[in-house]
Copies of this chain bind each other. A is one copy, B any other.
Amino acid sequence: MQPMNTTSKMQLQCPMPKFDFEIITLGHGSGGVLTSKLLDEMILSQFSNDLLDKKHDGAIIPIEKGRLAFSTDSFVVSPLFFPGGNIGDLAINGTVNDLAMCGAMPKYLSLSFIIEEGLKVTDFWQVIQSLKKAAEVAGIQIVTGDTKVVEKGKGDQLFINTSGIGLVHEKANIDAQRIEIGDKIIVSNSIAHHGMAIMSVREGLQFESEIKSDSCAVNYIITELLDQFGDKIKLLRDPTRGGVATVLNEIAEDINKGVFIEESKIIIDENVAGACELMGLDPLFVANEGVFIAIISPEIETEALAIIQKHEKAQKAFCIGSIVTENPKKVVIQSEMGGKRMISKLIGEQLPRIC
């Protein structure tokens, strides 16, 4: 699948220097002169910091006593470029958000490329620029990395793994087992943008207003919530693959309590809802990349929503429902007409390679 005419593809953030190669070859992954050249000219120069510049097999990080969060994600999104982002910012935001969901402030990331021979240097450069910008926005450093190249037809342009280390907020006590009946379920923004942005590109659909991925880092919002409310934040999860419905099902199973949500409270932008309807997809199962779900004590609902909504990428935060005694391990949704039904986890593939 080829990148479409997307805004992200248009905005080169930094003029590309002149390289004496136009595509990545197998030699760039063999550990010799070409590998050094690729690393020095395209990668290390862009992410320079004291830890990375040592160019050792790993980074050495001085650390205080405390709790670390450690997370990993491989990104295989197709196409590489989509409205609202590309695999680069997705790879940063994905791991940053996973760390934030642990109640941590993300600090250090590793960056590992698996490149298919023939990847255009212009595309790679653009992804690197997005990685760089997203890292700056999230306030994290790339401190170690790896680059491999596979033969044409043995990969798909570019896969990226990011792994990350964060420092757990001293007030954080994120633990599903602390969730009680009556706790509120907050969703930090309107849903289903990322999945539908990818699908609209794949299917070549045009809507009145372009559907953009919501890919963004939510770590600063989480830090503010933990600063303010500490252990009243019981659980944080990001509804990526499988969407809100799958995460809520996982939570219900885990805590052996019921999850009750109201359809009328779910916020979905009009163009996203239209696209879902057109493609026969339930937005509750569609992936998000800049949304988090927080399970919180009921008494902080109003104040927590106000804090979240201050952030540009979370202005539509809403309370979707609460934890209940009825139907343990199940998610029940009350429709706008008043009827109730169970919603289960995503079965099989809805949107492969969404992230």
Contacts and interface: CB of A to CB of B under 8 A. Distances in A.
Contact of A150 (B70, B73, B156): B156
Contacts of A155: 154-156
Interface in A152-180: 153-156, 159, 161, 163-166, 168, 174
A149 to B, nearest CB: 7
Contact of A237 (B57, B114, B154, B159): B57
Interface string A61-84: 111111111111111101000000
Contact of A346 (B31, B60, B68): B31
A12 to B, nearest CB: 27
B67 A60 contact: yes
A27 B154 contact: no
Contacts of A113: 74
Contact of A347 (B32, B66, B98, B111): B32
A102 B347 contact: no
A249 to B, nearest CB: 9
A58 B156 contact: no
A114 B112 contact: no
This chain: copies in complex: 2
A150 B76 contact: yes
Interface stretch (A184-192, A238-246, A304-312): A238-246
Contact of A352 (B26, B97, B351): B26
Contacts of A353: 29, 148, 150-151
Given A57-B238, A101-B57, A346-B32, A63 B67 contact: yes
A8 interface: no
A56 B112 contact: no
Given A108-B70, A168-B60, A346 B148 contact: no
Contacts of A238: 57
A110 interface: yes
A72 B345 contact: no
A104 B58 contact: yes
A61 B71 contact: no
A334 interface: no
Given A346-B32, A351-B30, A68 B57 contact: no
A107 to B, nearest CB: 10
Sorted nearest first, the 5 A-B pairs with minimum C-beta distance are: A31-B241, A32-B346, A58-B71, A31-B242, A163-B163
29 contacts: A25-B348, A29-B241, A30-B241, A31-B240, A31-B241, A33-B344, A33-B348, A34-B348, A57-B98, A58-B98, A58-B102, A59-B70, A60-B67, A60-B104, A61-B67, A61-B69, A62-B68, A63-B66, A65-B65, A68-B68, A71-B144, A72-B145, A72-B146, A74-B161, A112-B161, A150-B159, A151-B353, A155-B156, A161-B163
Given A29-B352, A153-B153, 16 more contacts: A25-B349, A27-B352, A30-B242, A30-B349, A32-B241, A32-B348, A35-B241, A35-B242, A56-B102, A57-B99, A58-B70, A58-B104, A63-B67, A74-B113, A76-B114, A163-B163
